[in-house]
Amino acid sequence: MKKNIIELKNISVKFDDDVILDDLSLSIGDGEFVTFLGSSGCGKTTTLRIIAGFLEPDSGEVFFDSKNMSGVPPYKREVNTIFQRYALFPNYNVFENIAYGLRVRHVPEAEIKQKVSEMLTLVNLEGFEKRHISKLSGGQQQRVAIARALVLKPKVLLLDEPLAALDLKLRKDMQNELKNIQKALGITFVFVTHDQEEALSMSDTVVVMNEGKVQQIGSPIDIYNEPKNAFVADFIGESNILDGTMKADYRAYFSGREFKCLDAGFGVNEPVDIVVRPEDVDIVKKGEGMLDGIVTSVTFRGVHFEIIVDIGGFKWMIQTTDEHKPGEEVGLFIEPDAIHVMKKSKYSGKFGDYSSYSDELDTLNQLPEDEDDE
Amino acid sequence: MKKRSLMQRLLGAPYILWAAIFIIVPLIIVVYYSFTDSAGNFTLDNIKGLAGYKDIFLISIEYSLIATVITLLISYPFAYIMSRKKESTQRIMMMLVMLPMWMNLLIRTYSWMNILEKNGIINNFLALIGVEPLKMIGTPGAVIFGMIYNYIPYMILPIYSVMAKIEPSLLEAAEDLGSNGFSKLRRIILPLSMPGVVSGFTMVFVPSVSTFYISQKLGGKIMLVGDAIEKQIQSLYNYNLGAALSLVLMVLILLSMALMKKFAGDSGDNILV
């Protein structure tokens, strides 16, 4: 029976007049790899620090193993943190850094030696005991930070964007290593990142956050295939988000025509947001698909082509391995299970098509997207 | 060996000239006078004559050590508290600490004379509430106090600047791993702030041990090494003995600096990431 090792109930945090966390509640299961995902300022690091005990919420409670943690300082919590820039102690070498927590607990010397050795093996840093930490590479420093935290066998490990400072190849290697360590030790990992690929590849559960609120909690597959609102749909992967209406169960109306889909449970003629992932759309000959349009740009990404197709003013993005040419007239074939229907939310209308085709430009412009209404 | 262009050599020349004239030559002159008599003949009499000044040397070291240690004990917690405050508060505190330094040391010391003397401000106040006047001027306490007052910014500032560089995340990491306040202090803050402590210690001890003004104004009949040197040179025109005293003082200071460097451990490489 899986129990919840951490529960957050109605946590609110304000800094001057800024609301950082807004009545946030969530649970973390024992032994899970959970990721808080969101862009800067969404409140994910703040939530982590509340769990660690570096910050007391203005209101709300934190429960660890069913015990209320109000007022309990970090050094009394069975939680350890990996800091974003590692925070290794510059006055100690690798051995002493890892041994720090054990020395504070007055663990006997022989046991310290043995445990530190085990950790060094676990993180592949055998032989590095006497090395001074200023002489370590970023990846090595990170592994020392991990060893230092794990040697204390915490029930929960908190990781605050630990891979942010590493280059791509190293980051992917570390993602695998972290995942393996977590599986091997069975410790609950709470991981914070803004990188959605990282979140999707490593986690058992993803908590998508924005503006101090939880937007959606679910497994990576669920979050990807069934985003709950336009924010999640846009943040995770690429999406075409359209304004539409549910004519009836399994019948969605958008882009000027009706489509068969797999979603039900909405009111008749209820306005909804429609999500179609670029990789789920096929480009066919004009007239042979559900919609017709013109190719406006083609970008080669190695893995696939990213093709922008203009349909009645709305710029769709399609990912396909077939090459097409700008100016070509094409058709789009959209299968029922490529269509995902979401309820309207405060994020409707904020994300939509690929007319500006750049994330930075989207947030800079903040213009109402060029959507298709019927 | 770096190859220096002629241009670089020329640019360095003024400083080398300055150092030669105003640093090296005076040192040589002091050494010369220490080992000669008034006729210019080589002699060890000056050095031997220092035996009579043994007590003066001891008191000077004693007072300045006490002053330095007290200064350290006050400054260390103060610097730590200061380093943990928010930016704007730190700036204000820094200004307040440095404010006395804008005034000349002579004026600062003289002011304290006014406050501490027999019919000075403190004793006048005590008389108002019917308490016997205290003897403050002319006591070792007054001299030590004068040293502390004058040089405390030189202890606070180096310690503070080193402590300010200690990243808050280091202290959080220590807490995260199980350290409470005292443990953090012992294991993290103390080792990392040592360079500041050594720096501050030196900057208070050296001027204190060689002062003459503070002891003259606040110490009454108390005579320190600085006073002795001044007396020999200014009043008695005995340059030889004065030079010998200076030489020994210089050696003493160099020795104590070397000792402190050793005590602080290897602060040679940059241990502050």
The per-residue pLDDT for range B101-154, each reduced to its tens digit, is 898 989 999 889 888 888 888 888 888 888 888 888 888 999 999 999 999 999
Please answer whether residues A281 and A304 qualify as being in contact, where contact means their C-beta atoms are separated by less than 8 angstroms. no
Cross-chain Cβ contact A75/B176 below 8 Å:
yes
Cα B121 to Cα A351: distance, rounded to the nearest angstrom: 75
Q: For the structural domain made of A238-365, what CATH number should be given? A: 2.40.50.140
pLDDT value at residue A255: 86
The complex's ipTM works out to 0.80
Name the residue in chain B with its Cα closest to that of A106.
B178
Cross-chain Cβ contact B188/A89 below 8 Å:
yes
What is the assigned CATH class of domain A4-223? Answer: alpha beta
Query: Residue A271, Cβ neighbours under 10 Å: how many?
Result: 13
Structure tokens at A255: 């882009």
Residues of A in contact with B191 (CB under 8 A): 91
Whether pLDDT at A368 is above 80: no
Query: Residue B153, Cβ neighbours under 10 Å: how many?
Result: 22
Residues of B in contact with A105 (CB under 8 A): 178
pTM metric for this prediction: 0.80
pLDDT value at residue A367: 43
Instruction: Please tell me whether residue B42 adopts helix, strand or coil conformation.
Output: strand
* Shortest CA gap A373–chain B (Å): 51
| Per-position b or e across A286-308, b if 16+ CB within 10 A of its CB | eeebbbbbebbeeeeeeeebbbb
Whether residue B93 is contained in a domain is answered as yes
Query: What percentage of chain A exceeds 70 in pLDDT?
Result: 94
Whether residue B7 is contained in a domain is answered as no
User: Measured over all CA atoms, what is the biggest interatomic distance in chain B, rounded to whole angstroms?
Assistant: 76
* Shortest CA gap B242–chain A (Å): 45
B178 closest CB neighbour out of A83, A89, A104: A104
CA distances from A150 to A89, A154, A159, A258, B188 (A): 16, 7, 12, 55, 20
The CATH number linked to B253 is 1.10.3720.10
pLDDT value at residue A191: 95
How sure is the predictor about A36, in pLDDT bands with cuts at 50, 70 and 90? very high
Cross-chain Cβ contact A87/B180 below 8 Å:
no
The per-residue pLDDT for range A104-128, each reduced to its tens digit, is 999 999 999 999 999 999 888 999 9
Walk across the sheet containing A156-160 and list its strands. A79-82, A156-160, A188-193, A33-37, A205-210, A213-218
Name the residue in chain A with its Cα closest to that of B181.
A75
CA distances from B181 to A78, A195, B72, B161, B189 (A): 18, 36, 20, 21, 10
The per-residue pLDDT for range A301-343, each reduced to its tens digit, is 999 999 999 988 889 999 999 999 999 899 999 999 899 999 8
Pick the more confident residue, A368 or A26: A26
Q: How far is CA A49 from the centre of its chain?
A: 18
Count of domains forming chain B: 1
Whether pLDDT at A373 is above 70: no
A74 closest CB neighbour out of B170, B176, B192: B176
Whether residue B39 is contained in a domain is answered as no
How sure is the predictor about A2, in pLDDT bands with cuts at 50, 70 and 90? low
The per-residue pLDDT for range A76-107, each reduced to its tens digit, is 998 999 998 899 999 999 999 999 999 999 99
Please answer whether residues A60 and A231 qualify as being in contact, where contact means their C-beta atoms are separated by less than 8 angstroms. no
Name the residue in chain B with its Cα closest to that of A99.
B177
Q: Indicate where chain A has its CATH 2.40.50.140 domain(s).
A: 238-365
Cα A369 to Cα A372: distance, rounded to the nearest angstrom: 9
Please answer whether residues A338 and A221 qualify as being in contact, where contact means their C-beta atoms are separated by less than 8 angstroms. no
Residues of B in contact with A156 (CB under 8 A): none
Q: Does A267 touch chain B (CB under 8 A)?
A: no
What is the mean pLDDT of each successive set of 10 residues along chain B, which is 273 residues long? Answer: 74 86 89 84 82 89 95 95 91 92 90 87 86 86 92 95 92 92 91 92 92 88 88 86 89 87 57 34
Cα B80 to Cα B164: distance, rounded to the nearest angstrom: 8
Pick the more confident residue, A367 or A194: A194
Whether residue B96 is contained in a domain is answered as yes
A54 closest CB neighbour out of B172, B177, B187: B172
Name the residue in chain A with its Cα closest to that of B179.
A75
Whether pLDDT at A350 is above 90: no
pLDDT value at residue B132: 84
Instruction: Please tell me whether residue B36 adopts helix, strand or coil conformation.
Output: strand
Cross-chain Cβ contact A104/B188 below 8 Å:
no
Q: How far is CA B59 from the centre of its chain?
A: 16
Whole-number average pLDDT of chain A: 88
State the residue range of the domain holding B230. Answer: 54-103+135-235+248-263
Contacts of A50 (CB under 8 A, 6+ apart): A8, A11, A13, A21, A56, A57, A62
* Shortest CA gap B259–chain A (Å): 21
Cα A251 to Cα A262: distance, rounded to the nearest angstrom: 8
pLDDT value at residue B1: 52
Contacts of B168 (CB under 8 A, 6+ apart): none
The per-residue pLDDT for range A139-188, each reduced to its tens digit, is 899 999 999 999 999 999 999 999 988 888 888 888 998 999 999 889 99
Name the residue in chain A with its Cα closest to that of B269.
A134
How sure is the predictor about A356, in pLDDT bands with cuts at 50, 70 and 90? low
| Per-position b or e across A135-157, b if 16+ CB within 10 A of its CB | ebeebbbbbbbbbbbbbbebbbb
Cα A310 to Cα A293: distance, rounded to the nearest angstrom: 5
Question: What 3 state SS string does chain A have?
Answer: CCCEEEEEEEEEEEECCEEEEEEEEEEEECCCEEEEECCCCCCHHHHHHHHHCCCCCCEEEEEECCEECCCCCHHHCCEEEECCCCCCCCCCEHHHHHHHHHHHCCCCHHHHHHHHHHHHHHCCCCCCCCCEHHHCCHHHHHHHHHHHHHCCCCCEEEEECCCCCCCHHHHHHHHHHHHHHHHHHCCEEEEEECCHHHHHHHCCEEEEEECCEEEEEECHHHHHHCCCCHHHHHHCCCCEEEEEEEEECCEEEECCEEEECCCCCCCCCEEEEEEECHHHEEEEECCCCCEEEEEEEEEECCCCEEEEEEECCEEEEEEECCCCCCCCEEEEEECHHHEEEEECCCCCCCCCCCCCCCHHHHHHHCCCCCCCCC
Cross-chain Cβ contact B176/A105 below 8 Å:
no
Q: Indicate where chain A has its CATH 3.40.50.300 domain(s).
A: 4-223
Q: What is the mean pLDDT of residues A247-276?
A: 89
Whether pLDDT at A372 is above 80: no
Walk across the sheet containing A251-254 and list its strands. A257-260, A251-254, A240-248, A270-276, A339-343
Cross-chain Cβ contact B175/A75 below 8 Å:
yes
A91 closest CB neighbour out of B176, B178, B191: B191
Whether residue B16 is contained in a domain is answered as no
Cross-chain Cβ contact B177/A80 below 8 Å:
yes
pLDDT value at residue B269: 37
CA distances from A123 to A168, A173, A174, A180, B104 (A): 19, 12, 10, 11, 59
Cα A86 to Cα A97: distance, rounded to the nearest angstrom: 11
The per-residue pLDDT for range B207-228, each reduced to its tens digit, is 999 998 888 888 888 889 888 8
Cross-chain Cβ contact B176/A85 below 8 Å:
no
pLDDT value at residue B271: 35
Whether residue B67 is contained in a domain is answered as yes
Whether residue B128 is contained in a domain is answered as no
Radius of gyration (C-alpha) of chain A in whole angstroms: 24
Structure tokens at A8: 């957050």
A90 closest CB neighbour out of B179, B183, B273: B273
pLDDT value at residue A165: 83
Cross-chain Cβ contact B177/A104 below 8 Å:
yes
Residues of A in contact with B179 (CB under 8 A): 75, 104
The per-residue pLDDT for range A272-294, each reduced to its tens digit, is 999 999 999 999 998 888 899 99
